[in-house]
Amino acid sequence: MEYVGLHEILSPGTGQNRSKLRKDIEEYHTAYAIDFDDTDIDTFTARRPEGPAFDKEKKLCVFLEYTRAMDMNEDWAEKKEQDKNDRYSSHLGFINHLSHRGKSGWKASQTNFTTGVRGSLHTSQFLMRLESLGVKNKNTREAIRNRTVQKTLFMSDMILKFFSFALNSKTNWTLQNLPTEIVNKNMERFNLHLQPLRL
């Protein structure tokens, strides 16, 4: 938790002294009647978002989460985003609690960017979230969206190539050698298609 930038928005030393941070976390859980034990506190302090963004002028701290999810079902993005929101809701509550207690005026929130492994994304939502982070130029937002989709497809293709290579080779590091029919059936099920592997 000390790595998410608490020193940027709270009083000096907050988040850097582990025992003090632990007491603050316990106090937050108690204040909001949230059940916890030592393991919960350890998990809480170990978990951190992919990146925080700060607007010092407006006193905003935004947790940034980027996720690639299997986009098979209609509600794939909503489900993944709900998972991400649930994962960090206590952390945002904790930061807002400390900010309110210390009268620092900072507010913490979360922005998710969710892309399907087959390159799908909710375009208007994606572009609006970029704009909310200060990316005001429309062409820049479009370029980021296009690049995100391209990179996602590139990564998926690369993973599939390695997967195919592992399944169809006789190397020592191949843990399983499934029959080709099974591999093809699973690839079909997820509507994934391999380009020929070039070695």
In SS3 terms, 185-199 reads as HHHHHCCCCCCCCCC
Condensed to tens digits (0 to 9), the pLDDT of residues 52-103 reads 888 889 999 999 999 888 888 888 889 999 999 999 999 999 999 999 998 8
10-14, 28-32, 77-81, 136-140: segment of lowest average pLDDT: 10-14
Looking at residues 110-131, what average pLDDT do you find? 91
> What per-residue confidence (pLDDT) applies to 29?
92
Q: What is the pTM of this model?
A: 0.71
DSSP string, the chain: -GGG-HHHHSSTTTTTSHHHHHHHHHHHHHHTT----HHHHHHHHH---SEEEEETTTTEEEEEEEEEE---STTHHHHHHHHHHHHHHHHHHHHHHHHHHTT---EEEEEEEEEETTS---HHHHHHHHHHTT---HHHHHHHHHHHHHHHHHHHHHHHHHHHHHHH---TT------HHHHHHHHHHTT--PPPP--
Distance CA 110, CA 133 (A): 11
> What per-residue confidence (pLDDT) applies to 62?
94
Q: How confident is the model at residue 175 (pLDDT cuts 50, 70, 90)?
A: very low
> What per-residue confidence (pLDDT) applies to 128?
95
Type of residue at 126: F
Which residue ranges make up each domain of the chain?
1-116, 119-199
